[in-house]
C-alpha cells in the first residue's frame, strides 16, 4: 500500500498537482497493478531507461522493461525512444492519467468505476487544484467562423494557424465525454500534437491525421457547439480539446464549479445588437456554454462579464445580431509552455 501513497506524493509534486484523497488512491490502484506500482513509485517526470528505473526499484532490467512496456501500452506512463532504447516517465493527471487510459479503452465495468472516481475526485479536490493555476493551464480559442474580418487577428488567436506549426497531429476520442456521458456531442474531436501525438498513435490511443483532416475536426466541433480549449501559451499547442459544458473538466471549472477564471478567456467577447435580435432563443438554448445570454421581452440580453469569447453564438444567430469584438484589457498568454509552467509554479509558491 505504501507504494501507492508514495506514487500519489510524486504525482502531487507535479505543477498540475494531485491532492491526496481516497478516491485518487483507488484510481491509482486501478491504473497501476500490483507488481507495477513498485516501479512507478521509483519514477518521476524525467525520461529514464528501464535499467535505471529497475535499479531504483530493485527489479532487474528485463523484468522492469516488460512491466514498463505494459504500462505505456495502457497509457499510464509516457514512453519515448531515446537513442537506441525506450525511456519512460510518469504522467501528470492532465494531460495524462485522466485522459490516456480512457482513450485506449478498457472494459465497461472498469470504465464505469473510473468515471465515478474521477468525477468524485474532480468535484471534491482536483477542480480546486486546477483552478488554482495562475495563469490558467488552458485557454479558449474563438470559433474560426466567428472571427471578425475587420480586426487584426494575432496568430495565437487562430487555432488552425497554431496547428499548422505542429509537426504531428493525432485524433482521439474525448475522455471527458467518454467517461461522463452527459450529452450526445461528438467524441472523435480530441487533438494531440507532436510528441504526445506520436506517443498516443504508437500505443493505439489515437491515430495520426493530416492538417487538412484536423481542420475538418475544428469545423465539425464548431457545428456541434463545442468550445476549442488548448494549452495557454502563444507558441505551440500540446493538445486541443473541443469541450461541452456538461462533461469537460476544464469548462466545468466555470459551468459547474464556480471558477470564472479557471480557463483563460479568448481575446474576444460577444457584442449584441439588440435592435437586430428577433428573440429566437438559439443563443440561449443551443449555443452559449456559460449562460451569458438571458431571456427578455423584446430581445435577449447579454452579460459580457460571463462571456469566455468562444464565438459559438455568432454563426447561428439568424439575423447577425451577435459579433465578436476585442476584449478590453486582454492579457496575452505566456510566450511558451515553459513560461506558463514557470509562472504557475512561481504563483503557487507565493500563495
Binding site for ligand SF4 (CB under 6 A): 270, 272, 277-283, 287-288, 290, 292, 300, 307-313, 317-319, 321-322
Beta carbon of residue 269, minimum distance to ligand SF4 (angstroms, whole number): 6
CB closer to ligand SF4, 103 vs 308: 308
Task: Lay out the sheet containing 138-141: strands in order across.
Answer: 138-141, 227-231, 239-243, 190-193, 169-172, 207-209
* The three grid cell numbers given for residue 196, joined into one nine-digit string: 504526445
Q: Are 85 and 129 in contact (CB under 8 A)?
A: no
User: What's the rounded Cα separation, in Å, for the pair 218 and 228?
Assistant: 8
Q: Are 82 and 48 in contact (CB under 8 A)?
A: no
φ and ψ at residue 149, rounded to 5 degrees: -80, -25
Beta carbon of residue 325, minimum distance to ligand SF4 (angstroms, whole number): 10
Beta carbon of residue 67, minimum distance to ligand SF4 (angstroms, whole number): 46
Beta carbon of residue 314, minimum distance to ligand SF4 (angstroms, whole number): 7
Q: Are 327 and 267 in contact (CB under 8 A)?
A: yes
Q: Are 239 and 193 in contact (CB under 8 A)?
A: yes
Answer whether the bond into residue 135 is a cis peptide, omega within 30°. yes
CB closer to ligand SF4, 206 vs 308: 308
Q: Which of 139, 110, 137 is nearest to 126 (CA)?
A: 137
Beta carbon of residue 182, minimum distance to ligand SF4 (angstroms, whole number): 19
DSSP 74-114: TTSEEEEEETTEEEEEE--IIIIITTHHHHH---HHHHHHH
CB closer to ligand SF4, 316 vs 343: 316
Beta carbon of residue 171, minimum distance to ligand SF4 (angstroms, whole number): 24
CB closer to ligand SF4, 76 vs 308: 308
CB closer to ligand SF4, 66 vs 285: 285
Beta carbon of residue 20, minimum distance to ligand SF4 (angstroms, whole number): 35
Beta carbon of residue 315, minimum distance to ligand SF4 (angstroms, whole number): 10
CA distances in angstroms from 206 to 86, 124, 173, 243, 312, listed in the order given: 20, 30, 8, 18, 27
Beta carbon of residue 222, minimum distance to ligand SF4 (angstroms, whole number): 11
CB closer to ligand SF4, 69 vs 276: 276
CB closer to ligand SF4, 75 vs 309: 309
CB closer to ligand SF4, 107 vs 150: 150
Q: Are 209 and 170 in contact (CB under 8 A)?
A: yes
CA distances in angstroms from 257 to 109, 127, 229, listed in the order given: 27, 7, 17
Q: How many CB atoms lie within 10 A of CB 285?
A: 10
Q: Are 251 and 127 in contact (CB under 8 A)?
A: no
CA distances in angstroms from 179 to 109, 171, 226, 308, listed in the order given: 12, 17, 17, 25
Number of H helices and number of E strands within the chain? 16, 13
Amino acid at each position: 500500500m505504501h507504494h501507492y501513497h508514495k506514487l500519489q506524493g510524486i504525482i502531487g509534486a507535479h505543477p498540475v498537482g494531485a491532492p491526496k484523497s481516497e478516491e485518487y488512491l483507488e484510481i491509482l490502484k486501478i491504473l497501476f497493478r500490483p507488481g507495477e506500482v513498485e516501479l512507478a513509485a521509483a519514477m518521476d517526470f524525467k525520461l529514464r531507461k528501464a535499467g535505471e528505473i529497475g535499479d531504483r526499484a530493485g527489479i532487474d532490467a528485463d523484468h522492469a522493461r516488460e512491466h514498463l512496456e505494459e504500462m505505456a501500452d495502457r497509457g499510464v506512463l509516457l514512453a519515448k525512444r531515446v537513442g537506441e532504447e525506450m525511456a519512460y516517465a510518469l504522467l501528470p493527471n492532465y494531460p495524462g492519467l485522466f485522459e490516456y487510459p480512457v482513450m485506449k479503452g478498457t472494459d465497461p465495468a472498469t470504465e464505469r468505476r473510473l468515471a465515478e472516481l474521477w468525477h468524485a475526485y474532480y468535484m471534491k479536490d482536483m477542480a480546486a487544484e486546477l483552478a488554482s493555476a495562475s495563469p490558467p493551464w488552458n485557454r479558449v480559442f474563438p470559433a474560426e467562423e466567428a472571427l471578425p474580418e475587420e480586426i487584426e487577428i494575432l496568430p495565437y488567436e487562430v487555432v488552425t494557424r497554431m496547428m499548422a506549426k505542429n509537426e504531428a497531429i493525432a485524433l482521439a476520442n474525448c475522455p471527458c465525454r467518454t467517461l461522463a456521458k452527459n450529452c450526445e456531442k461528438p467524441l472523435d474531436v480530441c487533438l494531440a500534437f507532436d510528441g504526445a501525438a506520436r506517443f498516443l498513435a504508437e500505443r493505439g490511443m489515437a491515430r495520426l491525421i493530416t492538417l487538412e483532416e484536423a481542420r475538418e475536426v475544428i469545423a465539425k466541433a464548431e457545428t456541434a457547439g463545442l468550445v476549442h480549449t488548448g494549452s495557454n501559451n502563444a507558441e505551440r499547442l500540446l493538445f486541443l480539446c473541443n469541450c461541452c459544458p456538461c462533461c469537460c473538466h476544464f469548462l466545468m471549472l466555470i459551468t459547474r464549479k464556480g471558477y470564472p477564471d479557471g480557463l483563460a478567456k479568448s481575446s474576444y467577447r460577444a457584442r449584441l445588437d439588440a435592435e437586430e435580435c428577433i428573440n429566437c432563443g438559439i443563443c440561449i438554448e443551443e449555443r452559449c456554454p456559460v449562460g451569458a445570454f438571458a431571456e427578455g421581452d423584446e430581445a435577449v440580453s447579454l452579460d459580457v462579464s460571463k462571456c469566455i469569447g468562444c464565438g459559438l453564438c455568432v454563426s447561428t444567430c439568424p439575423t447577425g445580431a451577435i459579433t465578436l469584438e476585442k476584449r478590453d484589457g486582454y492579457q496575452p498568454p505566456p510566450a511558451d509552455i515553459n513560461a506558463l509552467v514557470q509562472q504557475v509554479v512561481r504563483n503557487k509558491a507565493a500563495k
